[in-house]
Amino acid sequence: MAETAAAVVPSDHIMGVYNRAPLAFERGEGARCWTAEGEEYLDCMAGIAVNALGHAHPKLVAALTEQAQKIWHVSNVFRIPGQEALAKLICDNTFADEVFFTNSGAEAIELALKVARRYHASKGRPEKIDIIGFDGSFHGRTYAAVNASGNASYLEGFGPRLPGYLQATFGDMDGLAAMMGPNTAAVIIEPVQGEGGARSLPAEDLNRLRALCDEHGALLIYDEIQCGLSRTGKLFAHEYASAAQPDIMCLAKALGGGFPVGACLATAEAGSGMNVGAHGSTWGGNPLAMAVGKASFEELIKPELQAHVREVAGYFTQQLAGLQQRFPDVVVDIRGKGLLIGIKLAANNREFMQLARDERLLVAGGGDNCVRLLPPLTLTLEEAREAVEKLERACEAARRKLAA
Ligand X SMILES: *Cc1c(COP(=O)(O)O)cnc(C)c1O
- Report the interface residues with ligand X, using CB under 6 A: 104-106, 109, 138-140, 190, 194-195, 223, 225-226, 252-253
Q: Which amino acid is at 355?
A: L
Phi, psi of 71 (to 5 degrees): -150, 135
CB of 362: closest distance to ligand X in angstroms?
17
Question: Integer distance in angstroms from the first to the last C-alpha of the chain?
Answer: 21
CA 364 to chain centre: 12
**303-326 and 381-403 helices cross at what angle (nearest 10)?**
30
Active site residue 327: no
CB of 197: closest distance to ligand X in angstroms?
12
Nearer to ligand X, 105 or 258 (CB): 105
22 in Cβ contact with 344 (< 8 Å): no
Q: Catalytic residue among 100, 134, 138, 170, which?
A: 138
CB of 109: closest distance to ligand X in angstroms?
6
CB of 365: closest distance to ligand X in angstroms?
13
Nearer to ligand X, 190 or 299 (CB): 190
Nearest-angstrom CA–CA distance, 133 and 116: 14
CB of 293: closest distance to ligand X in angstroms?
14
Residue 169: Cβ-neighbour burial (10 angstroms; 0-12, 13-18, 19+) = middle
Active site residue 138: yes
Nearer to ligand X, 198 or 345 (CB): 198
Burial 112-148, CB ≥16 within 10 A → b, else e: bbbbbbbbbeeeeeeebbbbbbbbbbbbbebebbbbb
CB of 168: closest distance to ligand X in angstroms?
17
Q: Give the DSSP H or E segment for 267.
A: none
Nearer to ligand X, 164 or 191 (CB): 191
Active site residue 253: yes
239 in Cβ contact with 86 (< 8 Å): no
Nearer to ligand X, 86 or 331 (CB): 86
Q: Is residue 376 helix, strand or coil?
A: coil
169 in Cβ contact with 133 (< 8 Å): no
299 in Cβ contact with 94 (< 8 Å): no
Nearer to ligand X, 208 or 253 (CB): 253
CB of 258: closest distance to ligand X in angstroms?
12
Nearest-angstrom CA–CA distance, 351 and 364: 12
Q: Catalytic residue among 128, 234, 253, 344, which?
A: 253
Q: Give the DSSP H or E segment for 131.
A: strand 130-134
The region that residue 227 occupies, defined by phi over 0 for left and psi between -120 and 50 for alpha, beta otherwise, is alpha
54 in Cβ contact with 339 (< 8 Å): no
Distances (CA, A) of 351 to 46, 228, 390: 20, 29, 15
Nearest-angstrom CA–CA distance, 357 and 41: 8
Q: Catalytic residue among 130, 135, 205, 223, which?
A: 223
CB of 232: closest distance to ligand X in angstroms?
13
Nearer to ligand X, 43 or 223 (CB): 223
Closest residue by beta carbon to ligand X? 105
Q: Give the DSSP H or E segment for 343.
A: strand 340-345
**Residues taking part in catalysis:** 138, 223, 253
